[in-house]
Amino acid sequence: LAGVARAHLIKTCKSFGIEVREEPYTLEEMMAADEIIVTASGTLCRPAEMIDGVGVGGKAPKLLKMLQDYLMNDYIEKTN
């Protein structure tokens, strides 16, 4: 869904050279993904850890942490 947090995450990914594809995914593709990121104004960038009770993601923790840190620092800088 369109949203401010989603748009900011996509812009951030592109600025770091991280490929962003906005297209439908199959359940099989989601289960095999390195990371699945959920965005919302309250959480900015949160990993999905389970789908249907099965663990997913967790294969790119450094990349995820880099995005989370950048987004949080950017948020703090712009709201202070």
**What pTM, to 2 d.p., does this model score?**
0.85
Q: In this model, does residue 12 exceed pLDDT 80?
A: yes
Residue 23 to residue 44: CA distance in whole angstroms: 21
**H/E segment holding residue 38:** strand 37-38
24-67 confidence digits (pLDDT tens):
999 999 999 999 999 988 888 999 999 999 999 999 999 999 99
Cβ proximity of 58 and 47 under 8 Å: yes
